[in-house]
Chain A
Amino acid sequence: MAAHQSYNWMLIVLSYLISVLGSYTALQLAVGIPAAHSSRQRTAAILAAGAAMGVGAIWAMHFIAMLACDMGMPVTYDLARTSLSAVLAFAACSLGLGIAGSGSFNWPKLVAAGVCMGLGVAGMHYLGMTAVLMGAFITYDVSIVALSVLIAIVASIAALWLAFNLRGMAQMVGSALVMGIAVCGMHYTGMAAVNLEDNGSQLPAGYAAGLRGDNLGVSIFAVALVLLVVVLVLNHMRQRRREAITI
C-alpha cells in the first residue's frame, strides 16, 4: 500500500529561499576564484564556496523540504548518513566550482563542473533519503529519478554559465535563482519518484536514536545564520576593496 505525501507550502517556499541564499553566497565566493593571487587564496575560495553551496544551498534546503513533507507517519534521520550527505554535497560542489573557476571559461569545463554540481545535488538527496528512518519501505520510480538527476545537472550548468560568464545583476541574482531551481527542482522531482510501501509499521533499528525534526530545525537555522553573515561580510569587504581601488 503506497502512503500519501502532503506538503507545507510555506516550508516549500522557505526551502527555495534558503537554496537561493546558499547559491548566492556560494557563487559570489566562486566568482572570486579566478581572481585569487595565490594557491592558498584559491583553495580557501573554493572550499568556502563549496561549503556554502553544499551545506547551505543543498543540504539545508533538503532538510527544510523534508520537514515540509508529511509522509503520514513519524520520521527520524540517521545521524551518520545525514552528516555524510552534507560531506558529499560539500565535496562535489567544491570540485565543480574549482573546475569552473580555473583558467579561462569554456564549454567542456562548464559541462564537467555542472555534472559535478548536479551529481552533488542528486547524491546528497538520495544519500539523505537513505538516512530516513520510518515504518515504511522507500522505493523509487527509476525514470523520475533519472529526470531529477538531469534537472540537477542541466540547471547547474545554466547557473554556472550565468555566474562565470556574465557580469552585473544577471550574474549575481540570476545565477542564484537558477541554482535554486536546480536544487529544488531536483529535490521535489526526486520526491515525486518516492513510493512508500507499508512494512507493517515496523520501525527500523536506530529509529529512536535518530535526529528529529526539531533537531534539524536548529541545525538549519544555524546554517542560514552563517550564510547570512557570510553574505554581509563578503559584500562589505568587496565594497571596501572596490572603494580602495585607485585609478
Chain B
Amino acid sequence: MIELEMQVLSDRREGLLVELGRIVVAYGFSLMRQRLSQDSRGTWLTMIVRGPADKQLAMEEALATHSRVLSFEAGVAEGRPAMTPAASAPVPAPVTAPAPAPMPSTQGSGPDIHQVESTLPQLARDYPKIYPWLRNLEHAVPADAREASLHLAGRRTGAWVYKRNYAMGAKLNLPDAIKRIGVPALRELATVDWRDGQLLIQNSPLCSPGSQSGCRFYSGYLEGVLGGSVEPQTVFVRNLFCRSHGAASCILEISH
C-alpha cells in the first residue's frame, strides 16, 4: 500500500471531487482526506489517497488526462496531516451540494474512512437488509463525521449496486436513469416515489424524528447508483426535507 498526496487544478469546482474521486476508487485507492480551495486560476483539489502501489501510475495517468484537470501533481505523502494547496487559504470541502433552506446547514469533518471501510463488507453481505449495519455505523463514528461517513457508505453501496445490477445497457439521460435505475434500486431499501422531479422516501428507518443523519446515506446511494449510468457522470443529490427534522417524508432533489 502506498499513500499519495495529489494536487489538481480545474476550471470548475462543481462535481470535481465526485468525478476525480470516482477514478481514485476505480483504481482501488481510498480517499483519506481532501480539500478544495479557490484562487484566480481556478479550483484546487488536494487529495490524500491510499491504495495499491502497482496501480499508482495508472491512476495518476487517468487523473492527469481527465478532461476536468488543467494541471496535476502527485507525490508520496509523508504522513503529515496538513495539506497545502499551492494557492490561497484552503476551504473545507463539502461532499455534495450545500443543503437548501428547509434543511439545517451541515458542514462536518470528512468521513471516518476506517469505520466505513469496515462496515462495507457487512453491507454487501446482508444487502438489502442493511439498516442495522447503518445504525451501527451511525453510532460508531464521531458526531462530526457522521453525515460524511453515511454519505460515503451510501456512495460506495450505490456504485456497487450499479455495477452488479444495472451496468449492462446504454448511458441514459438523468430523468430516465432516475426512473429506470435510481428508483428501482432504492426501492430495495425503502418505499419511494418519484414525483415532479423529486424523490419521496416514506417512513425511512434511518430518519426517525430526532435522529441526525438519515438522508445522507440515501443521497450518497443515489449518487453512486446514478453516477455510472448517466453521461456526464456528475450527479448531485440535495436533501430538501427530512423526517428527522419534522417533515412528513424525506424529499430529495437530484440534478447534474
Q: Please give the residue numbers on chain A whose beta carbons come within 8 Å of chain B beta carbons, in ascending order.
A: 28, 31-32, 34-35, 100-101, 103-106, 163-168, 171, 242, 245-247
Contact = CB atoms under 8 A, between A and B. Distances in A.
Interface in B166-186: 166-173, 176, 180-181, 184
A34 B120 contact: no
Contacts of A101: 170
26 contacts: A31-B169, A32-B168, A34-B169, A34-B170, A34-B171, A35-B167, A100-B170, A101-B170, A103-B171, A104-B171, A104-B231, A105-B172, A106-B173, A164-B170, A165-B172, A167-B166, A167-B181, A171-B169, A242-B164, A245-B164, A246-B124, A246-B160, A247-B121, A247-B123, A247-B156, A247-B160
Nearest to B232: A104
B150 to A, nearest CB: 15
Of listed A104, A163, A167, A242, residue having the most chain B CB within 10 A: A167
Nearest to B168: A31
B163 interface: yes
B168 to A, nearest CB: 4
A246 B170 CA distance: 22
A100 B181 CA distance: 19
Nearest to B156: A247
Interface range for B: 20 to 34
B143 to A, nearest CB: 25
Contacts of B231: 103-104
Contacts of B123: 247
Nearest to B28: A246
A242 B123 CA distance: 16
B170 A167 contact: no
Contact of A167 (B168, B171, B230): B168
B240 to A, nearest CB: 27
B165 interface: yes
With most chain A CB atoms within 10 A of its CB, the pick from B120, B171, B230 is B171
B124 A247 contact: yes
Contacts of B156: 247
B157 interface: yes
B194 to A, nearest CB: 15
Contact of B176 (A165, A168, A242, A246): A165
B171 A105 contact: yes
A247 B170 contact: no
A247 B123 CA distance: 8
Contacts of B171: 34, 103-105
Contacts of A246: 124, 160
B59 to A, nearest CB: 15
A34 B230 CA distance: 12
Contacts of A165: 169-170, 172, 176, 180
Interface string B134-175: 000000000000000000000011001001111111111100
A19 B229 CA distance: 30
A163 B169 contact: yes
A2 to B, nearest CB: 46
